[in-house]
């Protein structure tokens, strides 16, 4: 079935290619903004180190998915994207921009962060500067903890190049001499088992500082000769290979998605190679040998001045007890309407309740399900799970509810990228407890965030629902900004129930009264809302749109915004990551401004505001403005009906971000970003404002 939104959108002309920016280059620009925070002296030092690691983590996934996809398209001479740039040019520009970003990242590490950390007694000890005491400790640690689990592999006709796991740490060894069997092998490979920590803490008495660390690579470099007795090691070079990690599961051609996914996960570690990282001292001969081995080109080679995997440094801020070098702690508050779990259902009956994470706690959402599990008046619970993590109180509550005889239905999205294994495990446990587990709809990821409880009250059934912009993941709700709405409004509850029935059953979808839904109504209704603003502007009634999201790349939505701008609608877009729209193009997008806010917390909510001739329509959604969210996912977008809640969304979710002059970046027509500075104005940080307004100053015990 072709979603109606595709059909209706076809009436709107696509933007001219020159009016669109490239998605991949936009992603690299987003990471440059994160790297800027790693350089910002006003950010606490250990938090700057975290930002540096986040860039590496983002780039890993970028290569595993986006660059891998580009390489696949190049194999088959795929067509240009909406921006009209040939794929060869995209790949070349992506490579150039990424090399520049990685070089800048290691400069920040070596020239800014490591010296600053050293002055604070947090040191990464280089093997060339070890004292005798440190050298003795390192040798003993190597022999006791590392040597027993290493397997050196000499490369010769009987020992081919070993299979290299995705993103694993490896060492290419150059040798001279003959071994015990008279073999004259010149190269070998040593793979570092993933069980070994990449960063090792030294005792303070050995390190000579409060917090001393050494890299696993340094220990192996210093003692690699012990793996090749009687031979001379002439070179030891760490390297890492990144592979295509996009799962290739043909959902339409399989009988059991769960079994097929379990099988495919075992192959993820050995997908096609897309990137080779080596230490900067790697010899030209060894680098060329590795490139040939992995069938990669020079542009796929990244020489780095330091560890090949900076993500491993993410643990260091957690190990170092220096509150003065981290963001101040805070305690997530509870909404006034829900002072305790006993008041939860009564509060929702009185009026809709809004949660704003991470400033307000996710605990009421967990209590919503846990209380339902224990309440004898609750008959049924329905829940979507996209990302929940490996340790989830909410899913444990669902398991408890099923064990207590409630009718529990859980839609588990098995294809949630990089959470597939955790979701498979949760699905198995839920089924064992007696819950109905559904894996969504073939060909459409279930990305909607919905929870529903059916309760008997005064002889009648009443539904309560929670609809959110973010995942049901307790850990990420502590550093992602998101909204969650509790309501028992009959039409919204009926719509949520209908969406669950669509996913779990069969048949045509019934019209929804309040919710907008992908892949059916969300896209055409958003375009209609944009066009209504244009009509209001043409009629002299003013037109205003403010939209906040993670990404904006869908061409017909962009064209609708361009046409609205030309009609006189003022448009503010708060897009954290990739934005393909060009603001400020004369005669095209003069009235559109684009900003990105990158700060302490990851901005994650999707909020859409339309002035709508003073009706002030406010929508909360799980969907970004991307083709996949509109046409290949099941998403929901809920209107905020309660006047007080609507004011809160505007006051907390949009207005502060339009005022921000410390963490906001303004985009120009070429896709370049300039960070806003207070100048002579009073500094205003949106996230700090919300912490001051909603949270409490000390972290909960």
Catalytic annotation, residues: 447
Phi, then psi, of 396 in degrees rounded to 5: -60, -35
Q: Which two tokens stand for residue 655?
A: 């207005």
Strands (E), 587-631: 592-597, 602-603, 606-610, 617-621
Q: Which residue has the tokens 């003073």?
A: 614
- For the beta carbon of residue 566, count every other beta carbon within 10 angstroms: 15
How far is CA 341 from each of CA 11, 154, 203, 278, 388, rounded to the nearest angstrom?
Answer: 50, 62, 45, 53, 21
- For the beta carbon of residue 162, count every other beta carbon within 10 angstroms: 13
3-state helix, strand, coil in the chain (%, to 5): 40, 25, 35
Contacts of 196 (CB under 8 A, 6+ apart): 145, 146, 149, 216
Establish whether the linkage from the previous residue to 259 is cis, with ω within 30° of 0. Answer: no
- How far apart CA 389 and CA 199 sit, in angstroms, is 24
How far is CA 681 from each of CA 43, 197, 684, rounded to the nearest angstrom?
Answer: 20, 47, 9
Q: Which of 667, 669, 619, 657 is nearest to 641 (CA)?
A: 619
Classify the phi-psi angles of 208: left when phi > 0, otherwise alpha if psi is within -120 to 50, otherwise beta: left
Q: Which two tokens stand for residue 354?
A: 């809004």
Side-chain half-sphere exposure of 243, counting CA atoms within 13 A: 15
What would the DSSP string read from start to end of 324-360?
GGSPPP-BPBPPTT-SSGGGHHHHHHHS-EEEEETTB
Taking a C-beta distance cutoff of 8 angstroms, is the pair 579, 21 a contact? yes
User: Buried (b) or exposed (e) across 169-194, using 16+ Cβ within 10 A?
Assistant: bbbbbbbeeeeeeeeebbbbbbbbee
Q: What is the largest CA-CA distance in the chain?
A: 90
Side-chain half-sphere exposure of 90, counting CA atoms within 13 A: 26
Classify the phi-psi angles of 84: left when phi > 0, otherwise alpha if psi is within -120 to 50, otherwise beta: left
- How far apart CA 581 and CA 559 sit, in angstroms, is 9
How far is CA 196 from each of CA 135, 207, 307, 635, rounded to the nearest angstrom?
Answer: 19, 20, 15, 41
């Amino acid at each position: 079935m072709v979603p109606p939104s595709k059909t209706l959108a076809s009436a709107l002309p696509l933007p001219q290619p020159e009016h669109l920016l490239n998605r991949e280059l936009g992603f690299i620009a987003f990471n440059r903004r994160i790297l800027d925070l790693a350089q910002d002296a006003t950010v606490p030092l250990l938090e700057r180190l975290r930002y540096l690691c986040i860039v590496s983590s983002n780039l890993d996934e970028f290569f595993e998915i986006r660059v891998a996809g580009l390489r696949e398209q190049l194999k088959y001479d795929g067509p240009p994207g909406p921006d009209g740039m040939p794929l060869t040019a995209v790949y070349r520009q992506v490579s150039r921009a990424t090399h520049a970003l990685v070089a800048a990242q290691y400069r920040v590490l070596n020239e800014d962060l490591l010296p600053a950390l050293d002055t604070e007694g947090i040191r990464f000890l280089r093997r060339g500067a070890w004292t005798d005491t440190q050298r003795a400790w390192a040798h003993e640690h190597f022999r006791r903890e590392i040597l027993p689990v290493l397997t050196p592999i000499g490369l010769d006709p009987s020992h081919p190049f070993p299979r290299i796991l995705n993103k694993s740490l490896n060492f290419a060894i150059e040798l001279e001499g003959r071994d015990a069997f008279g073999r004259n092998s010149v190269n070998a490979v040593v793979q570092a088992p993933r069980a070994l920590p990449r960063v090792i803490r030294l005792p303070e008495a050995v390190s000579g500082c409060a917090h001393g660390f050494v890299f696993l690579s340094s220990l192996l470099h210093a003692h690699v000769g012990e793996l090749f007795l009687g031979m001379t090691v002439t070179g030891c070079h760490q390297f890492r290979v990144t592979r295509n990690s996009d799962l290739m599961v043909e959902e339409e051609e399989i009988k059991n998605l769960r079994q097929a996914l379990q099988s495919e996960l075992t192959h993820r570690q050995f997908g096609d190679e897309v990137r080779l990282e080596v230490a900067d001292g790697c010899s030209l001969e060894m680098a060329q040998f590795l490139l040939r081995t992995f069938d990669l080109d020079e542009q796929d080679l990244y020489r780095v001045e330091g560890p090949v995997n900076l993500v491993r440094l993410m643990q260091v801020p957690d190990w170092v007890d220096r509150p003065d070098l981290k963001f101040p702690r805070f305690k997530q508050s509870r909404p006034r309407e829900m002072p305790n779990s006993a008041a939860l259902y009564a509060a929702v009956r009185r009026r809709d309740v809004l949660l704003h994470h991470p400033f307000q706690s996710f605990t009421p959402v967990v209590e919503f399900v846990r209380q339902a599990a224990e309440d004898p008046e609750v008959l049924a619970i329905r829940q979507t799970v996209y990302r929940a993590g490996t340790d989830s109180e909410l899913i444990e509550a669902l398991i408890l509810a099923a064990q207590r005889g409630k009718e529990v239905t859980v839609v588990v999205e098995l294809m949630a990228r990089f959470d597939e294994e955790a979701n498979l495990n949760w699905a198995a446990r839920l089924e064992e407890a007696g819950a109905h587990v559904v894996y969504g709809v073939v060909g459409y990821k279930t990305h909607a965030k919905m929870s529903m409880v059916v309760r008997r009250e005064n002889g009648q059934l009443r539904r309560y629902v929670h609809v959110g912009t973010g995942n049901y993941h307790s850990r990420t709700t502590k550093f992602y900004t998101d909204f969650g709405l509790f309501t028992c409004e009959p039409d919204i509850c009926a719509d949520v129930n209908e969406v669950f029935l669509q996913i779990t059953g069969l048949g045509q979808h019934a019209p929804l009264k309040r919710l907008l839904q992908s892949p059916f109504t969300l896209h055409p209704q958003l375009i209609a809302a944009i066009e209504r603003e244009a009509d209001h502007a043409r009629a002299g009634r003013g037109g205003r749109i403010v939209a906040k999201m993670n990404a904006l790349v869908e061409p017909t939505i962009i064209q609708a915004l361009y046409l609205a701008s030309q009609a006189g609608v003022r448009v503010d877009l708060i897009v954290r990551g990739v934005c393909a729209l060009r603001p400020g193009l004369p005669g095209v997008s003069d009235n559109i401004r684009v900003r990105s806010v990158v700060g302490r917390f990851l901005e994650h909510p999707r909020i859409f505001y339309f002035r709508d001739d003073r009706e002030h329509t406010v929508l909360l959604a799980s969907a970004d403005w991307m083709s996949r969210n509109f046409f290949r996912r099941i998403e929901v977008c809920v209107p905020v009906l309660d006047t007080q809640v609507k004011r809160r969304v505007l006051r907390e979710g949009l207005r502060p971000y339009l005022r921000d002059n410390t963490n906001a970046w303004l985009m120009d027509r070429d896709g370049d970003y300039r960070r806003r500075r207070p100048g002579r104005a009073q500094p205003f940080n949106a996230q700090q404002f919300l912490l001051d307004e909603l949270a409490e100053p000390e972290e909960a015990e």
